[in-house]
Amino acid sequence: MTWRRPLLTTVLCVLALSPFAFSRQARPKADNAQMRTQGAKQNASEGEKRFRTNCGRCHNAPEEISPREARAVVRQMRVRAMLSAEDEKLILQYLAP
């Protein structure tokens, strides 16, 4: 009988605090997802800028390019246009988000 009351109190406390615990875990997850989306948008925007700066001064952007094709195209442009590894990464994120 003596051990039932502390156990019941502990279970009730855990149940009472659990929404806070979950909400506290959930909020950073939402923030992380939001930050990742913002980061991806920023990278895509920076990638578009790098594309205009480097590729756009010699030729137009391809009208349609699938993500499957983009990797080979950007790799080739890295060699041809002497892009840095960072340029390659950002332009790839822009062409194949």
Check: CB of residue 94 under 8 Å from CB of residue 48. yes
Cβ-Cβ contacts under 8 Å for 61 (sequence gap 6 or more): 51, 55
Which is nearer to another protein, 83 or 91 (by Cβ)? 83
Residues within the interface to another protein (CB under 8 A): 52-54, 56-60, 62-63, 65-69, 71-73, 75-76, 78-87
d(CA 60, CA 95): 13
Which is nearer to another protein, 31 or 86 (by Cβ)? 86
Which is nearer to another protein, 15 or 58 (by Cβ)? 58
